[in-house]
Every structure is written in structure tokens, then in C-alpha cells.
Structure 1
Amino acid sequence: MGNKCSCREAGSDCNVSQEYKPVDQQEKVTFNNSNQSCAIPLKESERAVSFSVGSGHKTNWKMSIPCTPGSPGEEGRSKMIMMLNQTRDQIEKLTSDDRDKNLEALNGLYYMVDEAWSIPKYGRDLAYAISNVLREEGALLVILSKCACTDKDMQVAGAQLLEQVMIASNRDYLVECGVESVVQLACSREDPKLIQIGMGIIENLFKHSPNTCTRVIEYGGLHGMLYNCRSTDTITLRHCSAGLCNCAMFGGPINQERMIEQKAPEWLFPLAFNKDNSIRYYALLAICTLAANSDIQRAVVNSGTLDLVEPFVTSHDPIGFAKGDKAHAQGRSEGWLRLLISMLTCERREAQCLAAFHFAMEATIKAEQGRTEIFYVIGVIEPLRKLAASNTEIASTLAQQALTVIGEDIPHKLSYNISSWSLDEVGLWVDRNGFDEYSENFKKNKVDGHLLMTISTDELKEDIGISSRIMCRRFLRELSVLKSNSYSGDRELHEWLKNVGAEYPQYVHNLVQCGLDMRLLPYVTDEILKNDAGITNGVHRLKILLEARRISGGRVLGLEEYPRVFDSPLRKTKSTLGPKDLTDSKPQKTLDVFISYRRATGSQLASLLKVHLQLRGFTVFIDVEKLEAGKFDNNLLNSVRSEVVTAMESKCNIVPVTDNFRWPKPETLPEDMRAICFFNGVKWIHDYQEACIDKVERFLHCQENMGQLGAVASIIRSGNSSIHGGSTRKESSTGSASGES
């Protein structure tokens, strides 16, 4: 449960929700109107000073204000009195029968609450007070009725005010009244302003409870939010990003599965690829939350969105990020932070990194607020200490940073190279992972890092004395995570296995010990992986063989026993691989589409192309570290030239996709890539994305542009500026889409 970010300013883009502790779990400040009382959050250490509001009015209201360094002075108290008096005046107008007064009141209340959220120190308490008064005086019900009316101006004004006052208690009230009509209004696609507001309302509803998330999804709220992920409006995308994060965090496992069913991980990609840091951050939090659920982890990994987490974390400083974005300036609530702890302790390295990043950021914020005790209350210190002592390089560094700011000692950090661990270091790792009762047995048997890496189930049972099969399985699980984060052995092999899957680097030591390296990978067999390298998981062996086949440009020995059962739209179906020798085989294309794009201006279009094509069954590659360039300069030209020329030489189909882009004159380009200026392409129209993708797909299924290469060469030599004549169509196995804007 929560409230809006107290850093909001009128007219700003900061629309990301801010969480606070549920009112019924806190000390309360009372705002009294007659015999009614509204609860306002108050920290335990704060004492309150009462003052009266309403001089000259029929009703006398009283409000207690925290007496803390963050409480208002005399000037602030006067401001609060004035705004609360204005609230009463606006409520009287809102409940009148005059349409113009109703509209004036809705707009007036909206600007008042928006201003309250933007006031430092006491703005949150004031906004809570106004929001609670609206509910207690019956005005919230009137606002809901205005949202459902046919008067468009009144509808928009009511919806934008409702979004501003969606504090925890008002969300409770709204859920009790029924959310179906509100969700239907929020999912309206008629008015751009209403889309912005509607996504903000759904964002707030998604952090109410798992049951509310289920109801909102059933009424089409998730579908509407995912549809708007294709928008270009920053405010709308911020609401979508934060809303999907809320749904993932507050919705529980059942609603996370519904997010998978509706392809949320795929649609999180363009959000996580956005230039706006707030949009990116909450999209990444959403995907990491989903990845922490092992039941749906594979679908999350296949979306490719997780690949964007570590580049974001390594390119941002937690302290600078917190101060540079108003959405994070006040930090998060106790309840919200509790939900983040599970990401620290899950097996996914990406989730650990982002959670550690957030706690490093949160530690700085809470230290400035004098509230570091919250980390002890929620019990995050031990998970941070364990992560800080682990060999997970990025997450470990960030966890250490958080602990330092909180004032905790940094635990001894184990080396990334497990093979070099001493007996004491092995014992330390065993103790930290809950197997301290067997620590002496490890020392007695002189188990160092090298032996730990290759220890077997039988050795654990007979030599170490772990008789419990469950305990043995848990030990091996922790060991596999440890080995996945290790750099023991061949670093090049480690990076290659990391690309196969996050859990595959656990096999580096096994492969190195049996004499395998990158040079020998093309000759590896299933028997070698199973018997010599000790890889018992058959699926893992298959994936390693498939990846080895890809880098070798042909067939790997021992792979023919695995039949191919699925092909993408651009591949022929084959029941098995042919029995040709490695030296006679031709390179096999494993991608359908390679997206080349201009990083500075084409990233959103490129990410949308990826999602649309991926949802249609294509395998798509997009480079997340593309060269940034604002114009068609020499550096960009060299990059594009290399990709285009390689595509032409490989007989790939090239499909230009342009958005407000004009090709340079052919004579200004290198001769070997001038033909691309004459290729048939697709002009991107944002409001008709499906139609554009239909056309892109038709182009990908043929080689229309490749058939024009000969004619284009003649045209370029003769100086003509357009293409004439027909084109040929051939079967295509690979396409290249170029996204520019």
C-alpha cells in the first residue's frame, strides 16, 4: 500500500508512486472534523503539536503536525491552514448542482493536492490530510461519479484528481466500491490525457493486494497497460513501468503467471531499453521480480529483458541515481523494501545485482533522513552481509556499499577464484551457507577449493557425513550457484558458458579439468560431457552442444541423436541433422533477424521491432551496446557499413524500417553499401504498428531487395535516383531489419 511520491512538482514528469507503511500499522496523527478522525502516518519518535483549522467556517478542524526536523515552521503551518481551508471551500463547490462549479472544484483540488506532494518535509502529511478529508466528507464518492459521467471534461478532471489522491485508505475505499468501471475508464484509448491518467490509476491499484491485482487483470487492466507499452509518451510509459513493477511485486505468484501468459516480459523490453532512467529502472525491477520466481524463470530469461540489467547497474552510481531522479528522492517504505529482500536471496545474479543497487541507493537516502534503523526492522542486514561476502562480483560490491553507509562492518570476502581457496576459506563458505555442523569434516578431509569444485554426492554422504538426501541436494544447489559466479579456470570458457545460460558457468572447472578449451569445443560429444566432465543434466549437455555447433559454423559430433522439434517462421523443419562431417558442413544461421539501429534516436523503434517479431515466433538479435550518434557521422557510417556489407555478402535479406528518416545521397556513401538507399523498405507509422509489422514480415519471408542488387548497381553507375523494373523473390532464411528515426 502506498502513496504518491512526495517529491512531485506541478507540471513535472514525476509520476512514479511512492510507498508508505499502511496507516493501520503506524502511529497516527489525527485530522478531526466533528467526530470523524482520519489517520495520517507518523514516525514512532515524532511528537505532535495541534493547531486549529477553519477560522470563519462552520466546522472547526484540528490537525496534529509532527514536531521533528522535517516538520513545518510557522510559515509552513500557515500554508497548511490556508490549503485545508481551501479544501473545504472546494468540497462545497464539488457537491453543488452547478456544473461549472463542479469542474472548477475538481481542477482546484487537483492543483492543491499536486502542490502538496511537491512540498518538501511536510508535503506528504498535508497531501494525506487532504486525501483523507475528501473520503471522510463524501467527496471521493462524488469524484468517482464524475469519472463515470458522459461529460468528457468532467470525466478527465475527475480521473486526474482521483489519481492524485490514491493513498492507501482511499485505495481500500475504491476497491470496496468496485474497480471495474474505474479500470474500464483507465483502459480507454480515446484521449491521450485520459490514457496517462488511466495508467496512473492502474499503477496504484496494482499495489493494493494480490486479490485486487487479480480483479484488475480480469477487467483488462494488465492488457491495457501492456498495450500502452508501445506508446511514445514519457508519462504514460512511466506509469506502465511502475505499474508492471507493482503487479510483479504485490500480485503474488498467481498474477505473475498471468503476466507471463500476457507476454509481460517481452513488453518490458522496450521499457527497459528506454532512454528515461525512471522507466528503465522500474521495468528492470519488474523483470527481476519475475525472474526470482523459479516457476516462470525460463519464460523470463527467453524474453531477453534480463540481459539489460547488468549494463544498467554497472553504468549508474546508486547515490547519483537517487539524487538525479525525483522519483527516488524520498526512498521507499518498509513494506516495499521487505518485498525486495527476496531478490537478494534468489539464485538469479541479475536480480541480486538490482536489489543490491536499490539497497545501496536506499541506504544513502535513509541515512540522510536519519532512518537507517528501518534496515534492522525489516531484517535485511544478514542477506546483505551474505551477499557482500559472496563471489558475485557486482552484487557483492553494491551490498558492501550499502552496509558501509548503514554503519555495518564488511564481512571477509572470499576470492572469485574458488580453486585457490584454502581449507579455512572452504570452511568459512560452508559455515555461511548453513552447513556449519559439517565444517570440521571438510577440514578433516582437507577439502580445499579445488576439491570443493568437483565434490560428488557419494563423497558428501560417505566422507563428509551428510546422510540426509535433502541436505545433500541443498548443498549441491548452493555449490552450483557458487560455481556459476566463479572465475576458476578458463575465463574465455566462463564467458562463453555464461552466454549459454546464467547457470552454465558452474561447469567451467569440470570442462577445464578434463582438458577441454574453446579450441576443442567443436569436437566435444555428449559422451565426453556426461562421463568425463560429469555433467549429469541432459538438457544442459544438449544446450552446450548446440552452442558449440553455432560457434563452430557446423555440426558437432554427438549432436545428431537430438531431433529438432521446433523451427521459427524462417527455417525449414528437419527431423534430425544430417550425417555430414564437421569439415564438410556449411555454416548454419541460428538467427532470423538482426536489428541494426541508431542508438541515439532509434532505440525505441528497434526495441518495438524486437518485441513484435519475437511474439510472432522469430529469433531476434539486438545489440544493447550500440554506438551512440546524433547524425550520420563517420563512426556510425563505419559501424553501419560493416553490418550492411556483411549482410549483402552473406545473401541476407535487408529490410530498411524508417521513422522520420531521409537516406543520404548515394554518392556520399561508400560504393559497397550504396545499394541500400534503393531498397524497398517500411515506413513506420506508430499508430498502425501491427500493419507495419505485417509488411516487415512479408519482406522477411522473401528476398525482394536482394533481387534488386544487380539493377541497383546499374542505376548507381548511370546516376539515376530511383529504381525501375521488377524484382525477384527467393526463399529466405535470415532477415535484417534496420530501425532509424
Structure 2
Amino acid sequence: MAHGTAETSSSGAGSQRPVDWGAMGHLFIRLARTSRPLIRRFSSEFIDKEQRSLKSGEVTQHETQNRSAATMRLQTESFTTEKNTMAAQQQSQTITSTGVINQHLAQSSHQNITFSKGLSTKTIVSSQSSQIMNGQNIKMIEGDILPASFDDLENLCAKSSPQEVEKAKEKYKSLLEKAIKKIKGIKGEGSKQVPSILNRLNEMIRKAWEVPTHGHELGTSLCNALRTSGGLDFLLTNNSDDEQQFASAKLLEQCLTTENRDYVVANGLEMVVTSACVCTKNSNSVDHSRVGTGILEHLFKHSETTCSDVIRLGGLDSVLFECRKNDVETLRHCAGALANLSLYGGAENHEAMIKRKVPMWLFPLAFHNDDNIKYYACLAIAALVANTEIEAAVLKSGTLDLVEPFITTHNPSEFANSNLAHAHGQSKHWLQKLVPVLSSKREEARNLAAFHFCMEAGIKKQQGNTELFMDIGAIEPLKKVASCPNAIASKFAAQALRLIGEEIPHKLSQQVPLWSTEDVREWVKQIGFAECAPNFSDSRVDGDLLLQLNEENLKNDIGITNGIRRKRFSSFNWSKRSPSTLLSLKLGAHSAKPIWKKIRKI
């Protein structure tokens, strides 16, 4: 770095002296104030910026040039002062696929101030320049392990080819395995590098998850590599200080996929839950709260036994304590954790939730401005209300009333893309836990379950994984919901079936007496009497006539000769078909009177 100043005078008066910049500034101001009435001010500014990027194969060259110039002039009848400033900066950088960086930086500036009064002229020149040349090959950062940037991950998009995705996947799997091997071999003073390396791994995996459409494949691949390379073991057993423990917790929170959750539960559940609870108790750090609740959110979607263990170790209490916080990301994890516990917990853990007044805690979450918090709070309450033993306590909280306003004002596909938390969809096991909610007797629960399956259908279609719905047994429940009179649930269920390429069933009216013979035939199929459907059609049984059938008609005219089957047909629960008509249909010898009269009373 070189600096220089020079002073010249045309008045011939005296010797050179250092310039007093402060005095000169005050002099200009005094002269400006005392040199009225004529004052002219002139100023101009010029800025030029050029940026070029050239990519050839696996080599990328970036070059940036910045140039600026400014002129300021103040003129009165008695003096003139002028200031000219020029600056230039040039930077070039070369990055290869191995992370090699050749970097060059040069910058310079020049400043000229001229002051004239009468025959005297004074010029002050100040210039400075600096040049940094770095010709070294900086292959990697963090001890020759990880690249300086993850540009190739950031450049992947939904339209990226399978070859590009596979190339990125193999590259970063290799880098992750090398990084884990490196940190496992670090001893003594070198261990101070470990938190920094773990943080870089965390950033790398986070960027992999963020890739549109392909993020699930990339993220899952890296998480599997972390487990198979011994990285999970390292995170569970090597936490020598607070900094390393938190760095390990952050990375773990990013990597708790289904397989990794299994591994953690089998090899270090208590340690991980304890670490997560410690994070939530660090009231001065938002980052700690986010990581702690994020880990607990993942652990609550493993199994009923694991949920019991996490509750016993203080996990649920920590989540409820964090519900008091204002941080949106933390509350998202809390809502997700309670939704997972509601789906995976089972009856015993539901009782523990009621004991801790979880439905009451869900109310402010379901009322939150953030859609993600609101949605998973509603999902939690919908899953809880399916348990009839705690239904009264759930209804008492009033949270269930907030479900319908949400789903009627949101679009499933748009909501899916609103947050990375559900942009890649839920796991097969998680969705399997949601299937029974489609058959809940509560309309609000059915509506929300259908909404979620509609959202998941769009996501899984993009991922090419629609066969998952057949594997988890969701097709038939979706068809039943799609054909039901419930307008909201049937709309979302039909949309889900359409997205995954399934046939959309015949939709029935909510008014049974208005059913056509075709409606009756479809309904008979849905309740498990498909072989009798032609007989109903041949007898031209419509909705009005259906409600007048007695046991003799079923036996002699419809052909249901088996008495037990007639009894099952007669005891069909109409609340599943038409909540606003009949609670049940009891057919017998006494039912020759028109049963539809009962409908009019309801």
C-alpha cells in the first residue's frame, strides 16, 4: 500500500508545509459565507461497472471492473475551489470443479483539490493505490476438505437433467465422506477446526435440500452418506465442548431422515434428546431454540415407543415451553412437533398431551399469522380429534373451528411451495399415519386430511413417486371421500386422485331421496355389495325407494339371501354417507312405512 501527498504554490511565497485538511475545510466554509452575493455550485458524478463471467467445461472465470469519478466545484466573485476524485478497482477470479481459486485484486484512487483566490493558486494532491496478487492455488477451505462455494448446487433447478443431478450427488457425497474421514482423524489442538468443518457440512446439506424438485433426492443421498461414512457416530459421541456440541446438533437437525432417525433411536436417543432440550433452555440464542425444537420435531415422527421415550426425557415439555417464543422458525418446529406426536403418539401419549393441555397450546399456534405454523397446528388438532377418548377435551379448546377457514382460503399446490419444510413432501410412513384421518367422523378432520393428500399428490407426481399412495392404502379411502357429499373434502380428494392418475368415483348428492338409480348403484358398490348392484338397477331403485325397502324386499327382490349380510346392509351407518340426513338406517318387517319421513324431521 503506497500513500503520497504533494503541495505546490504559484504565489512564490514561502516553504512547503504539510496540509492541514481540517483547516482547509473551515477556510472554504468561511470564504463561502463571506463571499456573497454571487455563489455558484457545480457537481458531476460518473459510475461505470462491468461484470463478466465465462464458463468453459468445469472452469469458471469471473471478472469485475468498477470505475467512478466525481467533480465538485464552488465559485464566488472572490475565489474558486474545485475537488476531483477518481477511483478504480479490478478483480478477477478463477474457479475449477476441484475448488481451485486463482484470485487477483487491484485498486487505486486519486484525489485533487484546487483553491484559487486572486493570483494565488494552491493545489493539494492525495493519491493512494493498493494491489493484492494472490497466485496461489487455494484448492479447498477448511483444511483442504470442502469447496469455497456450492455454486453448482445453487444452479440446479427443476429442469436440470438427471445427469446433472447425478453428477452433483456423486461429487458432494465424495466430499462429505472425505470431510468425515478428516475430522475423525483430528487430534489435540486440531480439534478446534471441527466446529467450522461441521458448519460447512451443514451449509452444504442445507443447500442440497433447497434444490427445487431434486432436493429430496440430493438431501437424502447426502444424509445416507453421513450415516454410512461414520458421520452420525461422530456426531453422537464426539462433543468435547459447547461449540462443537452445537455444531453437531445443527448438522444432526438437517440430517434426521427416516433411516437416520432409526439409527439415532437405536444408538443415542437419550443423548440427542438431552442435547435438544439443553438447546431450548438457552434463552439468549434464537439459533439454539431453532435447532433444539427442530431435532424434537423429527424424533416425534418415529414410533409410538420413541414418542413415549422423548416425552419421558422432557421433549414435550421443552416444545411447549418454546411455544411461548415469538420466533417464527422456532414456532414452526413446535407446530410440526405437535402434529407429528399427534399422528405417531397413540392413545397413551395422547393422554399425556391432554394432561399438559396441548389442545389449548395449539389454539394460539393455529391463530398465528404464519401459514406454516397455522397449518401444522390444525393438522395436530385434526389427528387428536380422531381419538374418541379425548375428543371432548379437543373440542373444548376451540382449535378445531380454525381448520375450515384455513383450507377454504388456501390452494394445496401453492401452499406446498410456500416453505421448504413441506416442499418435498412427507415420508411414506408419515402419510400412512394420516390415512385413518380420512375416515374420521369429524368433517373438519376429513377436510384437512384430504387437503394434505391433495398437496402430497402434486409433490409426489413431480418426484415420480405416485405409487406410494397405493403402497400405503390411501387410494380407496380417497375414493370414498371423493364420492361423499362433503363438498370440501370431496373436491380435494378428487383432485388428489386426478393428479396420481386414478379414476374419480361417482359423486353422490347429500340428499338421499334425490339419488338416481345410478347413484344408488354406485353407493351399493361403495358399501361392499357390488354383486347386488345389478339387482338394484334392474329393480330401478332410486333414493326415495331405497329408503322404503324392508327386509323382505332385500331377501326376495334384491337377492340378499344371507341373513347376516342383510343385517349388515340394514345397519349401515348413514352418518358416513350423509351427516345431515339419517344417523342410521334400520330395516326390518316393521319398516314398511316410508322411512324418508324421518329425514324431513332432521
Q: If the length of structure 2 is used for normalisation, what is the TM-score?
A: 0.62
Paired with 1:184 and 1:262, the residues of 2 have a C-alpha distance of: 20
> Where do 1:157-172 residues align within 5 Å?
157-172=247-262
Deviates more, 1:346-355 or 1:92-101: 92-101
Q: Work out whether 1:239 is the aligned partner of 2:342.
A: no
Q: CA deviation at 1:212?
A: 0.9
Cα deviation, 1:491-524, whole Å, max 9, x if unaligned, reads xxxxxxxxxxxxxxxxx9877735xxxxxxxxxx
Deviations 1:120-159 (A, max 9, x none): 5665455445444544454433423455x6x433332222
**Aligned residues between the structures:** 430
Q: Which residue identity does 1:108 align to in structure 2?
A: R
1:216 is displaced (CA, Å) by: 0.7
| 1:474 Cα deviation after fit | 7.3
Distance 1:461 1:364 in 2: 46
- Distance 1:372-1:308 versus aligned 2 partners, 3 A rule: same
Hey, what does 1:372 align to over in structure 2?
466
| Pairing 1:397–2:397 present | no
Structure 1's 126 and 416: CA in aligned 2 closer, same or farther, altered over 3 A? closer
In structure 2, runs of 5+ residues without a counterpart are: 1-142, 146-159, 584-594
Query: Are 2:277 and 2:292, in contact at CA under 8 Å, matched by a contact in 1?
Result: yes
Q: Partner of 1:144 in structure 2? A: 236
C-alpha contact 1:388 1:396 (8 A) present in aligned 2: yes
Shift of 1:345: 2.5
1:480 corresponds to which of 575, 580, 587: 575
Distance 1:178 1:79 in 2: 30
Hey, what does 1:299 align to over in structure 2? 393
Counterpart in the other structure of 1:513: 600
Give the match's secondary structure for 1:483. coil
For residues 639-690 of structure 1, give each alpha carbon's deviation from its aligned partner in whole angstroms, at most 9, with x where no partner exists.
xxxxxxxxxxxxxxxxxxxxxxxxxxxxxxxxxxxxxxxxxxxxxxxxxxxx
d(CA) in 1 for partners of 2:439, 2:485: 14
Question: CA offsets per residue over residues 224-253 of structure 1, 9 Å max, x none?
Answer: 212322221111111111112222222333
Checking the alignment, whether the CA contact within 8 Å between 1:206 and 1:213 is kept in structure 2 is yes
The Cα shift of 1:211 comes to: 1.3
Distance 1:74 1:256, change over 3 A: closer
Alignment of 1:566-577 (within 5 A): none
Q: CA deviation at 1:423?
A: 4.5
Shift of 1:209: 1.7
Asked whether the 8 Å contact 2:276–2:296 carries over to 1, the reply is yes
2:478 pairs with 1:384: yes
> Matched residue of 2:454: which SS?
helix
* 1:481-496 paired onto structure 2 within 5 Å: 481-485=576-580
- Please point out which of 190, 198, 201 is paired with 1:109: 201
Q: Which residue of 2 aligns with 1:721?
A: none
Task: Tell me if structure 1 keeps the 8 A contact 2:437–2:446.
Answer: yes
Alignment partners' CA distance in 2, 1:132 and 1:376: 26
Over 3 Å counting, the alpha-carbon distance change for 1:371 and 1:107 in structure 2 is closer
Q: Look up the equivalent residue of 1:482 and give its one-letter code.
A: R
Q: 1:78 to 1:427 in 2, by over 3 A?
A: closer
Aligned to 1:91: 183
Work out whether residues 265 and 287 of structure 1, in 8 Å CA contact, stay in contact via their aligned partners in 2. yes
Cα pair distance change 1:475/1:214, threshold 3 Å: farther
1:263 aligned to 344, 357, 375, which one? 357
Please give the alpha-carbon distance, in whole angstroms, between the structure 1 residues aligned to 2:561 and 2:574.
14
Partner AA of 2:475 in structure 1: I
Shift of 1:76: 2.7
Structure 1 residue 476 displacement after superposition: 4.0
The Cα shift of 1:350 comes to 1.6
Q: Which amino acid aligns with 1:483?
A: S
8 Å contact kept, 1:94–1:105 = no
Q: CA 1:114–1:293 in 2, change beyond 3 Å: closer, same or farther?
A: same
Q: Report the Cα distance in structure 2 between the residues aligned to 1:196 and 1:73, rounded to whole angstroms.
A: 30
**Would you say the 8 A contact 1:95–1:102 is kept in 2?**
no
Q: CA deviation at 1:460?
A: 8.4
More strand by share: 2
CA distance in 1, matches of 2:163, 2:426: 19
Does residue 429 of structure 1 match 2:516?
Answer: no
CA distance in 1, matches of 2:579, 2:600: 16
* Gap change, CA 1:406 and 1:96, over 3 Å in 2: same
1:440 shift after superposition: 7.4
1:314 maps to a residue whose letter is: T
Conservation of the 8 A alpha-carbon contact between 1:266 and 1:303: yes
**Unaligned residue ranges in structure 1 (runs of 5+):** 1-55, 59-67, 489-507, 515-532, 534-741
- 1:474 and 1:264 mapped to 2: Cα distance? 40
Distance 1:141 1:99 in 2: 16
Other-structure match for 2:508: 414
Is the Cα–Cα contact under 8 Å of residues 173 and 221 in structure 2 kept in the other structure?
no
User: Which one is further off, 417-426 or 451-460?
Assistant: 451-460
Residues 387 and 395 in structure 1, CA contact (< 8 A), matched pair in contact too: yes
Over the aligned positions, Cα root-mean-square deviation in angstroms equals 3.8
Pairing 1:615-654 to 2, within 5 Å after superposition: none
| Structure-2 change in CA distance of 1:319 and 1:127 (3 Å) | closer
Once residues 287 and 142 of structure 1 are traced to their aligned partners in structure 2, the CA distance between those partners, rounded to angstroms, is: 38
* Distance in structure 1 (CA, Å) of the matches to 2:535 and 2:282: 70
Q: CA deviation at 1:471?
A: 7.0
**Aligned match for 1:355, one of 428, 445, 449:** 449
Larger Rg: 2
Structure 2 CA distance for aligned equivalents of residues 329 and 424 of structure 1: 40
Percentage of identical aligned residues: 43
Deviation for aligned residue 1:176: 2.4
* Equivalences for residues 523-602 of structure 1 within 5 A: none
Q: Structure 1, residues 533-568: CA drift from partner, whole Å, max 9, x if none? A: 7xxxxxxxxxxxxxxxxxxxxxxxxxxxxxxxxxxx
User: Which residue is 1:80 aligned to?
Assistant: 172
User: Counterparts of 2:572 and 2:357 in 1: how far apart (Å)?
Assistant: 29
Relative to structure 1, the CA distance from residue 229 to residue 71 in structure 2 (aligned partners, 3 Å threshold; closer, same or farther) is farther
| Contact 2:183–2:194 (8 Å) recurs in 1 | no
Q: 2 CA distance for matches of 1:267 and 1:458? A: 55
Deviation at residue 396 of structure 1 after TM alignment: 0.9
CA distance in 2, matches of 1:125, 1:423: 49
Deviations 1:414-447 (A, max 9, x none): 2222232245533432331124466678779986
* Counterpart selection for 1:153 from 243, 249, 269: 243
What one-letter code is carried by the residue in structure 2 that aligns with 1:425? Answer: D
Q: Could you tell me which of 152, 159, 162 is aligned with 1:70?
A: 162
Aligned-pair distance for 1:324? Answer: 2.9
Q: Distance in 1 between matches of 2:530 and 2:401?
A: 35
| SS at 2:369 equivalent | coil
